[in-house]
């Protein structure tokens, strides 16, 4: 019987791990350039950390169970509630603003499809302790830079910027009576791009139950609102409406944020897009998604401001803003745009040991070279020279080190360039220094003074007539 991994869970063969490491390294470099520090938390958490805070959609996707001690637990579907708990526990002693990033595996019981799995890695970056839009600007700029670092440009992705505060002010202005109803209307807005008109009217009817508002009319007004694609258009829209002073004041914040994003050099990536409201329950202000523009349009990252979560988890009032970026859609996009580099995972040297009696001597050199930081491999069993050379070439090592009886008697080792297929003998003394130079400059080209090019001189190392 052959065991299979669970649906939606990936296995990482070495070549996949190499890609994963490459992606994580770029994420880490970007976050560090912005002065963020790395954090982590357990992948298994108390269930209630998510049932209370994450919102319906995620709760329906939890990998939860009871552990052997009778505790209700869940694999994390996201990292934000854990982050809020960590910060809440040490809020008094942490230097503000807190700028943290983390990379971890998350689990969601979703229907598996292209770009969506049940286990995926997510890179999170968050700023806590800063209420002003300077923090939103910094987070959005980091989100852009973290994608730009892979060579992705404004032709490949954009940031769709929206604002739950503005949404609430708009819904209040059109007569939605309270926040609870507004939240229900926003969950309809979240489906605007995915559900047909009739379905949306039905959902809107349910959302507006008990209010005097007409569902079809409200949907039409909502569509008019999401069609506004610039700050100027939003200003014009609210200037024409009575009682929209708070919304107009909020647009001043938009102006500030867009100015900062321009100054940080990422303005070209940002588009006003009110269809983004975010599925997670805790967002309070500006929200955004990094969206791929080529191929299938998919979210590469999502985030926004969540000013109430830390307090809900027992901490003090703590404004916060952040994003999460998944590895699945990003890897697909990098492959599609041929932006994944050829990742070479080869040893520096491959030692060819000819004769078991020479193994101990050769391995003592291998140990020294490894101590010096070189990556060295060798065959565990004795074999024919040709076969060992072939193995050396297959590992991708640029140089083979040949240890035969003759070489050891002379106190030398032959260094063979596996691509050019030529070799030169060097003293074993200070081998590490010699090899460091060869790695940097290549095998020296030595013209043999007496070489006639036909092998008759007997000591030719030019490799032309082996």
| Binding-site ranges for ligand HAM (CB under 6 A) | 78, 80, 108, 110, 116-117, 120, 122, 124, 126, 280, 299-303, 322-326, 328-329
Which residue is listed with tokens 């006639």?
452
Q: How far is the CB of 226 from ligand HAM (least distance, A)?
A: 19
Q: How far is the CB of 162 from ligand HAM (least distance, A)?
A: 13
Within 10 angstroms of residue 457's Cβ, the number of other Cβ atoms is: 13
- Closer Cβ to ligand HAM, 116 or 422, answer by number: 116
Q: How far is the CB of 58 from ligand HAM (least distance, A)?
A: 7
- Closer Cβ to ligand HAM, 215 or 322, answer by number: 322
Give the nearest residue (CB) to ligand HAM: 326
- Closer Cβ to ligand HAM, 57 or 393, answer by number: 57
Q: How far is the CB of 106 from ligand HAM (least distance, A)?
A: 7
Residue 194 CB-density burial (10 A; 0-12 exposed, 13-18 middle, 19+ buried): exposed
- Closer Cβ to ligand HAM, 322 or 404, answer by number: 322
- Residues in Cβ contact with 440 at an 8 Å cutoff, skipping those fewer than 6 apart: none
- Closer Cβ to ligand HAM, 71 or 96, answer by number: 96
Q: Is 72 left (phi over 0), alpha (psi -120 to 50) or beta?
A: beta
- Closer Cβ to ligand HAM, 113 or 338, answer by number: 113
Q: How far is the CB of 289 from ligand HAM (least distance, A)?
A: 7
Between strands 270-272 and 119-128, the pairing is: unpaired
Using CA atoms, how far residue 279 sits from 91, 103, 186, 276, in Å, is 27, 21, 9, 9
Would you say 72 and 332 are in contact if contact means Cβ atoms under 8 Å apart? no
- Closer Cβ to ligand HAM, 55 or 383, answer by number: 55
d(CA 392, CA 412): 19
Of residues 443, 444, 384, 383, the one with CA closest to residue 419: 443
Angle, alpha carbons 10-12-17 (nearest 5°): 135
- Closer Cβ to ligand HAM, 17 or 209, answer by number: 17
- Closer Cβ to ligand HAM, 194 or 441, answer by number: 194
Edge-to-edge, what's the strand order for the sheet holding 64-66? 44-46, 72-75, 64-66
d(CA 357, CA 140): 63
Of residues 366, 389, 364, the one with CA closest to residue 435: 366
- Closer Cβ to ligand HAM, 299 or 388, answer by number: 299
- Closer Cβ to ligand HAM, 283 or 350, answer by number: 283
Sequence-ordered alpha helix ranges (H) in 227-275: 231-239, 245-263
The DSSP result for 186-226, as a single string, is: HHHHTTTTTS-HHHHHHHHHHHTTTSS--HHHHHHHHHHHH
Q: Is 173 left (phi over 0), alpha (psi -120 to 50) or beta?
A: alpha
d(CA 397, CA 435): 13
Q: How far is the CB of 261 from ligand HAM (least distance, A)?
A: 18
Q: How far is the CB of 303 from ligand HAM (least distance, A)?
A: 4
Q: How far is the CB of 257 from ligand HAM (least distance, A)?
A: 16
Report which secondary-structure segment, H or E, holds 72. strand 72-75
Q: How far is the CB of 50 from ligand HAM (least distance, A)?
A: 11
Of residues 54, 31, 36, 41, the one with CA closest to residue 85: 41
Q: How far is the CB of 401 from ligand HAM (least distance, A)?
A: 45
Q: How far is the CB of 144 from ligand HAM (least distance, A)?
A: 14
């Amino acid at each position: 019987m052959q065991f299979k991994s669970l649906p939606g869970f990936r296995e990482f063969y070495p070549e996949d791990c190499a890609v994963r490491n490459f992606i994580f390294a770029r994420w880490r470099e970007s976050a560090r350039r912005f002065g963020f520090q790395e954090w982590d938390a357990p992948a298994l958490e108390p269930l209630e950390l998510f049932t209370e805070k994450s919102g319906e959609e995620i709760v329906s996707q939890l990998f939860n169970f009871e552990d052997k001690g009778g505790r209700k637990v869940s694999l994390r579907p996201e990292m934000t509630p854990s982050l809020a708990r960590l910060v809440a526990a040490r809020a008094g002693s942490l230097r503000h603003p807190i700028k943290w990033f983390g990379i971890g595996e998350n689990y969601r019981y979703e229907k598996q499809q292209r770009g969506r799995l049940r286990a995926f890695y997510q890179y999170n970056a968050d700023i806590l302790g800063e209420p002003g839009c300077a923090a939103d600007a910094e987070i959005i700029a980091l989100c852009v830079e973290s994608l730009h670092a892979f060579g992705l440009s404004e032709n490949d992705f954009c940031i769709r910027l929206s604002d739950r505060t503005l949404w609430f002010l708009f819904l209040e202005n059109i007569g939605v009576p309270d926040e609870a109803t507004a939240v229900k209307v926003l969950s309809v807005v979240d489906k605007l791009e995915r559900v047909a008109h009739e379905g949306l009217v039905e959902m809107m009817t349910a959302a507006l139950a008990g209010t005097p508002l007409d569902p079809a009319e409200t949907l039409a007004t909502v569509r008019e609102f999401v069609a506004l694609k610039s700050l100027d258009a939003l200003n014009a829209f609210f200037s024409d409406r009575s009682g929209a002073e708070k919304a107009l004041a909020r647009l001043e914040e938009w102006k500030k944020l867009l100015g900062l994003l321009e100054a940080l050099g990422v303005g070209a990536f940002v588009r006003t897009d009110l269809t983004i409201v975010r599925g997670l329950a805790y967002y309070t202000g500006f929200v955004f998604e990094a969206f791929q523009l080529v191929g299938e349009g998919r979210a590469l990252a999502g985030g926004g401001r969540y000013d109430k979560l830390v307090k809900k988890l027992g901490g003090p009032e703590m404004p916060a803003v952040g994003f999460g970026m998944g590895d699945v859609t990003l890897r697909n996009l990098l492959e599609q745009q041929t932006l994944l580099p050829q990742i070479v995972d080869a040893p520096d040297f491959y030692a060819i040991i000819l004769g078991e009696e020479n193994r101990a001597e050769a391995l003592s050199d291998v140990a020294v070279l490894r101590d010096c930081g070189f990556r060295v491999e060798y065959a565990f069993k004795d074999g024919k020279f040709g076969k060992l050379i072939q193995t050396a070439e297959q590992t991708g090592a640029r140089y083979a080190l040949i240890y035969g009886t003759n070489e050891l008697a002379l106190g030398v080792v032959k260094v063979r360039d596996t691509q050019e297929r030529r070799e030169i003998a060097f003293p074993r003394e200070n081998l590490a220094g010699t090899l460091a130079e060869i790695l940097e400059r290549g095998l020296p080209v030595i013209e043999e003074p007496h070489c006639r090019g036909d092998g008759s001189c007997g000591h030719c190392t030019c490799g032309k007539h082996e």
